[in-house]
Structure 1
Amino acid sequence: MANNSGRRRRWGSVRKLPSGRFQARYPGPDGALRNAPETFETKADAEAWLVETEADMRRGDWRDPNAGAVNFLLYATAWIDERDLAPLTEELYRRLLRLHIAPTFGESDVKDITAPQVRSWRAALRKRGIKTTAAKSYRLLKSVMETAVDDELIRRNPCRVKGGGKEVAAERPHATIEQVLQLAELMGPRWQLMVFIAAFMALRPEEQAELRRRDVDLEKGVVWIRRAAPELCTGERAVGDPKSEAGKRALRIPPELLPEFERHLRWYAQEGEDGLLFVGERGAPFRRSTFGRKWRKARKKLGLDHLRFYDLRHTGNVLAAGTGASLRDLMAFMGHNSPRAALIYQHSTEEQQTKISDGISAAVVDIRTRRRRPTADETKEAREA
């Protein structure tokens, strides 16, 4: 097709459509002719677009506009399938995709998702009051679309909201030692050790669910955390490694809790070296639903409706920090990976772990002693008797 100077273009062509707008066509690297993704108001605009597209091809920056014609929901589902995710993480991703991402983008092609659409979608989620969920959903969408960029399905990630995936969580509540002791009493003798372990040793619920007799060494006063068994929404126990590599750890048992361990092992744990530490009344692994009902009833009685069982870990963290432990020792205690790579392979000393457990134990003993101490009236009555 001739250009404005009467010469035929050496690459690509421009033609006028019946609507009066102009269409640009060009040969791709495979020789097949392709239309520009949009039409142009003037012939000059169409030709300028062809010049830019040819330059992109020479630089290796060209992307096939049809490459992204892949259904987003199918692509995102495959993205999750292809990753070696922890069971709870996989469950979370599938739930976020199903409930919060797919309703907006599920029927779209990957290439058709735009930055303005992403901004509007995120804003709508936040207006519903689910800001934390909005941040998690945004991070998932951004990761999926970043892979689409790597797969050369799209040129640029449409998730470009600055800080869009940042969560600003409220300060987690934590129970006092007195409240922990009261909660343990209300939970009853079968479950009170779970409360103590969560609050005074900071174990995650899924780590407690897979503790076995062989993991408890009363002679050395140590509990080994080797495995975890998170319970999925289906009720399945997904037995595997702890949440992180740092989750595999040995923790000192606060001396004040040793009698609690001894009694629990004698009365409630499954028989055999490989027996589970915590089981229901019928001998089966405890279920989150059954335990949850007991927990909600106990916390309600104390007016602690806001306190999740997981929040007891925060109690343990606060108590451990109060012993003067270093950041590295706290991370070993909590089973967290360091934010700094240099600390990943450094381990807490046995002496410092003993200091943490002894410090927590001393605080528990102090509160228990105060609870058992007779009041002035009780002392007077005893004297008069």
Structure 2
Amino acid sequence: MAKRTFGTVDRLPSGRFRARYRGPDGRRHAEVFSTRADAWAWLATQQTDLLRKSWRAPTSKRPTVVEYAEDYLARTDLRESTRLLYSGLWRHHLAGPWADVPVDEITPAAVRAWHAKTGQATGPTALARSYRLLRAILNIAVADEAIASNPCRLRGAGTPKASRPSRALTAAEALQLAEQLGRDRRTERYRALVLVVAFGGLRFGEATALRRSDVLPGGRLRVERSVRRLGGRWVVGEPETDAGHRTVTLPAAIAAALEDHLEKHVPDSPDALLFTTSSGGYLARSNWNSTFRRAAGATGLLAV
């Protein structure tokens, strides 16, 4: 391939490509493109116009938030579950107010106004996650030198503020709640779930992703996946950290309760889920919360 002598193309931190050349007006002109080929094609057009003496100084297109959001969501180092989470946050909380806004028009005051308005319509966790995503998107614009600094400067906005304090169940409370669930044939299938979470130290998504093959001899449980619902579908992934891959040993009484659960509620297939809905599907956190609150109320336990 012949060496190109007109203009330059360089790859930006966002993964996009910036084409630049010096025009007859003595100024450097630049445009940003998704592919290197598009960048060189634009330079070729500018060079042709110069040779034909029909060149006019191009009006630079100001990059918008959606362009950087698309770049961020297309990153290859994002876990699929994270990509789905971020895509949902973008659609529901960020795209409407920000998508078509040029990044150099966003001010700290505009971010504060968006944060206050969004906080009236959504929960603290979704708000904090959306703010962190917007900040990460605009960090790419900073790296690309499209803006001098990130306008997301709200102290503590990336950390969700709990609406009320929460605590873990004590061992006695877990046993009491499990007993209450076991009294009702509609909820008896969740008795072992409470015991495994409380005495095995599992997160809800880890417990509801367990399969029969994860139950090992000696009252041990192998934890190597987690499940959650994102974008309207179930996403099964690995634990977020290496420490999440582990084997836990249950107390003898809890292991016996789990064995009883296996006999009553879990098919013989090694891939059969341990804790499911009555129809055999993944157990949604929202459904479980309803069951939990009813049982906790019946036993006189405070919400935890």
- Does TM-score exceed 0.5, indicating one fold? yes
For residues 216-252 of structure 1, what are the alpha-carbon distances to aligned partners after superposition, in whole Å with 9 as ceiling and x for unaligned? 123x331110122223351x22122122221110111
Structure 1 residue 257: deviation in Å?
Answer: 0.9
Partner of 2:153: 160
1:193 and 1:87, CA in 2 relative to 1: closer, same or farther beyond 3 A?
A: farther
Amino acid in the other structure paired with 1:238? V
Question: 1:1-385 counterparts in 2 under 5 A?
Answer: 29-31=21-23, 33=25, 66=60, 69-126=62-119, 131-169=124-162, 171-188=165-182, 189-218=188-217, 220-232=218-230, 234=232, 236-288=233-285, 290-304=287-301, 306-307=303-304
Q: 1:291 to 1:72 in 2, by over 3 A?
A: same
* Structure having the higher Rg: 1
Instruction: String of CA shifts for 1:147-181, please: whole Å, max 9, x gaps.
Output: 11223332322223344434444542232333222
Cα distance, 1:104–1:290 mapped onto 2, change above 3 Å: closer
Please list every run of 5 or more consecutive structure 1 residues that lacks an aligned counterpart in the other structure.
Answer: 1-27, 36-63, 308-385
Name the residue aligned to 2:185. Answer: none
For residue 291 of structure 1, report the CA deviation from its aligned partner.
3.7
The two structures, once aligned, show a CA RMSD in angstroms of 3.1
**Matched length:** 249
Alpha-carbon displacement from aligned partner over 1:351-380 (angstroms, at most 9, x marks no partner): xxxxxxxxxxxxxxxxxxxxxxxxxxxxxx
> AA paired with 1:298?
A
Shift of 1:145: 0.5
What is the TM-score when the length of structure 2 is the normalising length?
A: 0.69
Q: Counterparts of 2:279 and 2:112 in 1: how far apart (Å)?
A: 52
Amino acid at match of 2:250: I
Task: Compare the two structures and name the one with the higher strand fraction.
Answer: 2
Q: Secondary structure at the match of 1:238?
A: strand
Q: CA deviation at 1:74?
A: 4.1
Higher mean alpha-carbon deviation, 151-160 vs 298-307, is at 298-307
- Displacement, 1:105? 1.9
Change (3 A) 1:163 1:237: closer
Distance change >3 Å, CA 306–CA 32, structure 1 → 2: farther
